[in-house]
Structure 1
């Protein structure tokens, strides 16, 4: 008997600022789920989580400006530009909003997308990202401030660089990627008030040994109306948003954890 896997497609979408964003689609059905990698990442960083999620829907993984297959342009990295790129990508998929999932840097990007373009987003999944910069542990923030091309030789020995070099249209652009990423993640931001104003359902997912303390995860969840009261014996007081803490995971493996997929799937299918 011959079996076939999920449908796989790939291509480039013109988004904003002259960027042609690489995307890879797995599975069929909708609404589609658009997935955004972390810093220096490519679509493969999620392991088989994408295929697990694609069992019942179309999953579209993208690569941001200067990452992976997506060539860089003469534009700094900003949360707003990345968010507008993702919103434009969603618009290219067809009518109707999409679900968004982002990890770490990508979590900040999809959060900004929901804030700036709420009409483009049905449900939002933020994995291992805070809603303000001081939500990271102090040592993580210090590490972010040291990210630059000065660390190129060290990065050359990492799996992140190897994955980039395998697909990038210009491997010599990696130092610029490091400098632009460092400038982005070391800048201050606080989206507290904008998060509080969100009306769409949001799933926040963290590792129990993340780069973000559980206290911030709880605070972020409270801004979305979660964890403020008992839900009642029948669950009628349960908020639309959810908080998941995956045990035995860290910031550096939670994105590819097999247990992440069923948590995300249950959230995306809640309420039909």
Structure 2
């Protein structure tokens, strides 16, 4: 059981694979934990050091009297990376809530992020499909008991520092996903080399995916027969997947590994 203290919270983390070199930090989705990455962890850790971190109030990390704010969570992770990274830096992959935290981390603490992988996130709330927004609006603290038998609820009951806080986790999650946001203006200034990954049946609208990638300089022109105009940032759409099962795609690990192994030099 390993913990790193940041902003007054002891964050549970696990290390897998080679213990040397630039680590890859994995940030999980809402009401989940680092265990969400079990489908891809062996492949990602086969050639590098991989660190999973349980976010505030999730998994084996305790909660504090603070809302689930992705900016504050990004500050938390910056402190963890400062302790566990190489020269205080890491490659970072975030999925869903963890992707929002990873993006905020790269924007607020660019000195902590080497390469960035964002899986299934929107940079503004309206970037989600309308029915997905309706589902977000419908989530409430009262749903805690209904969700409790789910795999996430069972894991929390077995491993959380205080399993009785399940209702608080759902209430804070509900409050967070009702919050409107738009990071469009900031994204254009993102410094980290970035890979965007989406499912072909994602909760994110296809036109928003194109907008997001365009802000990173992608999809704006032909790369040229010699690749001279190939953008430094990349986009992957994984077939036959949705927002909810994208981490199980057999293509995710090869896509991520290929991006991390490729040159970070701008073309």
Which category describes the TM-score, using the shorter chain as reference length?
A: over 0.9
Q: What secondary structure does 2:185 align onto?
A: helix
Residue in structure 2 matching 1:163, options 155, 160, 166: 155
CA contact (8 A) 1:45 1:256 kept: no
Q: What secondary structure does 1:131 align onto?
A: coil
CA contact (8 A) 1:148 1:175 kept: no
> In 1, distance between residues paired with 2:151 and 2:137?
21
Q: What secondary structure does 1:220 align onto?
A: helix
> In 2, distance between residues paired with 1:32 and 1:21?
17
CA contact (8 A) 2:106 2:191 kept: no
Residue in structure 2 matching 1:248, options 240, 244, 256: 240
Deviations for 1:76-106, whole angstroms, at most 9, x for unmatched residues? 1111110001111110114142100000011
Q: In the alignment, does 2:22 pair up with 1:31?
A: yes
Structure 1 residue 256: deviation in Å? Answer: 2.5
Residue in structure 2 matching 1:82, options 63, 73, 76: 73
The alignment covers a number of residue pairs equal to 262
> In 1, distance between residues paired with 2:103 and 2:171?
23
> In 1, distance between residues paired with 2:98 and 2:120?
9
Distance 1:96 1:20, change over 3 A: closer
Number of the residue aligned with 2:214? 222
> In 2, distance between residues paired with 1:154 and 1:235?
52
Number of the residue aligned with 1:104? 96
Residue in structure 2 matching 1:19, options 6, 9, 19: 9
Q: What secondary structure does 1:176 align onto?
A: helix
Structure 1 residue 146: deviation in Å? Answer: 2.5
Structure 1 residue 204: deviation in Å? Answer: 0.4
Q: What secondary structure does 1:60 align onto?
A: strand
The answer for unaligned runs of 5 or more in structure 1 is 1-9
Residue in structure 2 matching 1:72, options 60, 63, 81: 63
Q: In the alignment, does 2:32 pair up with 1:41?
A: yes
CA contact (8 A) 2:39 2:247 kept: no
TM-score, reference length from structure 2: 0.95
Q: What secondary structure does 2:240 align onto?
A: strand
Q: What secondary structure does 1:271 align onto?
A: coil
Residue in structure 1 matching 2:172, options 166, 173, 180: 180
Structure 1 residue 48: deviation in Å? Answer: 2.9
Residue in structure 1 matching 2:191, options 190, 199, 211: 199
> In 2, distance between residues paired with 1:89 and 1:181?
22
TM-score, reference length from structure 1: 0.93
CA contact (8 A) 1:33 1:59 kept: yes
Q: What secondary structure does 1:82 align onto?
A: helix
Q: Quick check: 242-251 or 153-162, which moved more?
A: 153-162
Number of the residue aligned with 1:143? 135
CA contact (8 A) 1:110 1:126 kept: yes
CA contact (8 A) 1:210 1:251 kept: yes
> In 2, distance between residues paired with 1:68 and 1:199?
30
Q: In the alignment, does 2:115 pair up with 1:127?
A: no
> In 2, distance between residues paired with 1:162 and 1:145?
24
